[in-house]
A and B are shown apart, each in its own frame.
Chain A
Amino acid sequence: MSAPQADTGGRTASGPGRALVAVYGVLAVAATFRSGVQVLRDFGAAPVAYSLSAFAAVVYVVATLALARAGGRARRVAWVAVGIEAVGVLVVGTLSVVRPDLFPDATVWSAFGAGYGFVPLVLPALGLWWLARGRGGRPAPAERPDR
């Protein structure tokens, strides 16, 4: 596409990555807030669903921070976090459809994230693609694009 994309090099948080981090940030805040209310208010009503919500929220926060930071270690953390999301949304999404009795209340990942406009389903795919795509460029500070 456009030229500025080419010189983003190994940095995950510039160019399209910045947009990705933005969406992740929104989802992280939404998931954290929602699970916080769920867990604090009526944890007993649906312990499995609410624990899962809290777990998902933590993963989204970790993924957001890892994607926003440059460097090899952050990138590995991002891989793991985004990978967990991909598995989570697929497994929980399937389970919530096949065994709805397990989930009396919705989580972020229920029905493949339908409650969030399927963003939780699309986002890990985009995240993994973005991480895989940027792997060629070494994440060196010297590689910062000229501004």
Chain B
Amino acid sequence: MLVTALAAAVVAAWAAWRTVRDRPVVLRQLVASGVVEALLLVQVFVGLVSVARGSGPADGATYWGYLVTTLFVLPVAAAWAFAERTRWSSVVLLVAAVTVVFLQFRVVQVWSGA
């Protein structure tokens, strides 16, 4: 979970840098976002295994709500990156990546029942 948050933070920082430099999102950033997405899928898998073993999250509905929502954030930003070839695609990716970082913190909290 920490790894995912860190990876998303890197994507966010990269997007912020390109925003400042007035550049649109490039493919390499989308590859990085894909890595974050893969980490999220690992998280889904681990979560499912834990539930199957009877040691799932403290608050199931909230946990899965957050996690499944998180899965959609970066793909939408990526789709927009193709449509919007200005610096604003970088802003969108920045917003998306920050959202993922935030949701990761919430996912960790919810898992432990905070």
B86 and A37: CB pair below 8 A? no
Min C-beta distance of B66 to chain A, whole Å: 8
Is A138 positioned at the interface, with any CB of B under 8 Å from its CB? Answer: no
Q: Is B95 in the interface zone, CB < 8 Å from A?
A: yes
Q: Is the CB of A19 within 8 A of B91?
A: yes
- Asked if B86 and A2 sit within 8 Å, CB to CB, the answer is yes
A contact residues around B29 at 8 Å (CB): none
A residues near B, CB below 8 A?
Answer: 2, 4-5, 14-16, 18-19, 22-23, 25-26, 29, 33, 37, 147
Q: Contacts A19-B91, A22-B95 given: A37-B84 contact, CB under 8 Å? A: no
CB of A14 within 8 A of CB of B84, answer yes
* Interface check B61, CB cutoff 8 A: yes
Which residues between 63 and 89 of chain B lie within 8 Å of chain A, taking CB atoms?
A: 65-66, 69, 73, 76-77, 80, 83-89
- For B95, give the chain A residue with the smallest CB separation: A22
**Contact at A22–B92, with CB atoms within 8 Å?**
yes
Which residues of chain A have C-beta atoms less than 8 A from B87's C-beta? Answer: 2, 4
We find that the number of chain B residues with CB closer than 8 angstroms to chain A is 22
Complex CA–CA separation, A15 to B87 (angstroms): 8
Q: How far is the CA of A16 from the CA of B90 in the complex (A)?
A: 10
Assess the B88–A18 pair: CB atoms within 8 A.
yes
8 further A-B pairs in the complex, CB-CB below 8 A; given A29-B69, A33-B65: A2-B87, A4-B86, A5-B86, A15-B84, A16-B88, A16-B91, A22-B95, A23-B95
> Does B5 sit within 8 A of A, measured CB to CB?
no
CB B83 to nearest CB in A, in angstroms, measures: 8
Task: Tell me the complex Cα distance, A29–B76, Å.
Answer: 13
B22-57 near A? 1/0 per residue, CB < 8 Å: 100000000000000000000000000000000000
